[in-house]
């Protein structure tokens, strides 16, 4: 009985304390604006609310350049005379490299074909040079080999027409291809027609070319060569 009375008294005392605290809070002064701002400033001044600019980390290239700059500066301060010697040597080497590049560029621009072997017909084909083929045709005709002479003279004609701009020489092309390409050039088309009467002499039962016909083909080729050279000279 006494225990139940003690517990009730303690509950009454606690309730009275709570009521007193609530009453005190009700009659206390409310916080003003200055106190609120001060509390806010205190909260935002904590480290977790502080804003700082993000730091930029150096790239690998920046670190390498920085390391190299430090090495050069340290070497310069340690060996000043040797540093100047190496710097002068690097400058001389740069001048030599630039001079070599300039000389190579100028040599390449002024390069000209040189025929070391007049009989090198493969090189003549690469240069589109008809002269070696014309000369071999003359040599073959001198010993009576007119079939071979006309074939070489025909090759010289094609290379001449290529230089003239009437056709584009290629080993895989047939005679008809060149006739079609040269249709816009009357002299080129006529020269091809003249050669068609003699080349190839044995393919269609035709008789081999005689000296007079061969000489006529040579004159036609030479006339085309002269007119082509004049046209190239005027365009230049």
- What residue spans define the domains of the chain? 74-111, 121-235
**For range 96-110, the mean pLDDT:** 86
**For range 20-28, the mean pLDDT:** 52
Task: Determine the Cα–Cα distance for residues 119 and 28; give it in Å rounded to an integer.
Answer: 122
Tens-digit pLDDT profile for residues 152-208: 899 999 999 988 888 998 888 888 899 899 998 899 899 888 888 776 544 544 566
Supply the pLDDT for residue 20: 53
Distances (CA, A) of 59 to 19, 55, 66, 137, 197: 67, 13, 11, 71, 77
Share of the chain above pLDDT 90, in %: 16
CATH topology of domain 121-235: 1.20.120
Tens-digit pLDDT profile for residues 40-49: 777 777 776 6
**For range 129-157, the mean pLDDT:** 89
Supply the pLDDT for residue 52: 66
Residue 198 three-state SS: coil
| Separation of CA 228 from chain center | 36
Task: Determine the Cα–Cα distance for residues 119 and 154; give it in Å rounded to an integer.
Answer: 17
Task: Determine the Cα–Cα distance for residues 152 and 211; give it in Å rounded to an integer.
Answer: 15
Indicate the pTM of the whole model: 0.48
């Amino acid at each position: 009985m006494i225990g139940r009375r003690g517990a009730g008294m303690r509950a009454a005392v606690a309730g009275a304390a709570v009521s007193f605290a609530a009453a005190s809070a009700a009659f206390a002064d409310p916080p003003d604006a200055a106190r609120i701002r001060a509390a806010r400033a205190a909260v935002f001044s904590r480290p977790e609310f502080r804003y700082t600019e993000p730091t930029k980390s150096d790239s690998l290239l920046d670190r390498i350049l920085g390391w190299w700059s430090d090495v050069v500066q340290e070497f310069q301060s340690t060996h000043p005379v040797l540093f100047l010697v190496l710097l002068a040597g690097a400058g001389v080497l740069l001048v030599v490299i630039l001079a070599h590049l300039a000389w190579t560029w100028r040599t390449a621009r002024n390069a000209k074909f040189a025929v070391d072997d007049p009989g090198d017909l493969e090189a003549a084909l690469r240069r589109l040079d008809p002269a070696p083929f014309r000369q071999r045709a003359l040599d073959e005709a001198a010993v009576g080999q007119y079939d071979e002479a006309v074939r070489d003279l025909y090759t010289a004609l094609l290379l001449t027409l290529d230089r003239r701009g009437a056709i584009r020489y290629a080993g895989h092309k047939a005679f008809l291809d060149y006739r079609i390409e040269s249709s816009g050039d009357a002299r080129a088309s006529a020269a091809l027609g003249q050669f068609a009467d003699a080349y190839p002499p044995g393919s269609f039962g035709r008789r081999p070319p005689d000296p007079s016909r061969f000489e006529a083909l040579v004159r036609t080729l030479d006339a085309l060569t002269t007119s082509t050279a004049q046209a190239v000279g005027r365009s230049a």
